[in-house]
Amino acid sequence: MEDIRKTLPSDVTVVPFVDTSDNILDTASSLLDTILTTFIVVMFVVMLMLGRWRAMFIIVLTIPISILSALIYLLATGDTLNIITMSSLSISIGMVVDNAIVVLENITSHVDRGSRVKQAAIFATKEVGVSIIASTLTTLAVFLPLTMISGMAGILFKPMGWMVTITLTVSMAAALTFTPVLCSLIMKQNPKKSSLQRYVDVAMGALDDVYAKALKWCVYHRKTFVLASIVLFIGTLVFIGPRLKTEFFPVQDNARITATVKLPVGTRQDITRDVALRIDKQFR
């Protein structure tokens, strides 16, 4: 704006008429808060479930490594940090730790059963390696096609597809290499558990018992369970699917109100101005 003003005659002034920057900055700030909140919640959940601060440290290190790969992609392609790419980062943070948690939990189980830490890191990673690769590929099968969309949808979702694909691929590689190496270096053989962790273990044991009973019922009533699942699926498609509304973009609250006011033909300019100011004052 300042560069344009320098090229204009002295009797011409440029003033902002509509400023949407506040809404854009608020949205970006909200997404940044979401990313930070997700990061903190992931740390808390890992600490609560595994009960080891060293395990939390290992998992937390996986997040910046994966996010760094997404930022490298943005720098290489010339894309910017915008609403779509920041939303992709928010989605990715919760997903990139999945593989590392699976590896870490299996290593922890081996250590609790008496295995040495280095041996547990090797054998536990081998046990779940194929499963991690398969689960990552199934997730990529959802996001990778977004990179092939053309048109308006391609402009919106292509960066999201690439960023999620890259971060998940890097997180898979980190889970199979970086996580077991860190486990072998910093995990202890028999760490002491806090009193809070004992309560968590009791709660998880009760949850395992409930799950075991439910799984046992499903196994012994296979036909009933499969038939009920099919009926539920078809019923959802038939009764709920047709009632869902569709639109190109959802309605957004951008903190703006647009009004069209029609006055009689020939109304003086000062009267029109006073009416507009009075309406603006009422809304404010």
Domains of the chain: 2-192 (1.20.1640.10), 195-249 (no CATH)
Q: 151, 149, 146, 152: which is closest to 165 by C-alpha?
A: 146
Find out whether 254 and 20 touch, Cβ atoms under 8 Å. Answer: yes
Greater model confidence, 249 or 125: 125
CA dist 243 and 247 (Å) reads 13
Find out whether 87 and 160 touch, Cβ atoms under 8 Å. Answer: yes
Greater model confidence, 171 or 52: 171
Round the average pLDDT of the chain to a whole number and report it: 82
At residue 16 the predicted structure's pLDDT band, cuts being 50, 70 and 90, is: confident
CA dist 23 and 256 (Å) reads 9
The pLDDT tens digits of the residues spanning 270-284 come to: 888 888 888 888 877
DSSP assigned state of 265 = T
H/E element, 3: helix 2-7
The confidence score (pLDDT) of residue 239 equals 87
3-state secondary structure of 240: helix
The pLDDT tens digits of the residues spanning 208-256 come to: 899 999 999 999 999 999 999 999 999 988 888 788 887 776 666 666 7
The confidence score (pLDDT) of residue 91 equals 78
Number of other residues whose CB lies within 10 A of the CB of residue 247: 6
Spell 163-200 as b/e; 16+ CB within 10 A means b.
bbbbbbbbbbebbbebbbebbbeebeeebeeeeebeeb
At residue 78 the predicted structure's pLDDT band, cuts being 50, 70 and 90, is: confident
Q: 61, 86, 60, 59: which is closest to 71 by C-alpha?
A: 86
The pLDDT tens digits of the residues spanning 81-123 come to: 777 887 787 777 777 888 888 888 888 888 888 888 888 888 8
The confidence score (pLDDT) of residue 231 equals 94
At residue 66 the predicted structure's pLDDT band, cuts being 50, 70 and 90, is: confident
DSSP assigned state of 191 = P
Percentage of the chain surpassing pLDDT 70? Answer: 91
The confidence score (pLDDT) of residue 226 equals 94
CA dist 68 and 189 (Å) reads 32
CA dist 17 and 277 (Å) reads 15
The confidence score (pLDDT) of residue 193 equals 66
Greater model confidence, 183 or 93: 183
CA dist 210 and 84 (Å) reads 40
Query: What's the CA dihedral at 25, 29, 32, 33 to 10 degrees?
Result: -170
At residue 43 the predicted structure's pLDDT band, cuts being 50, 70 and 90, is: confident
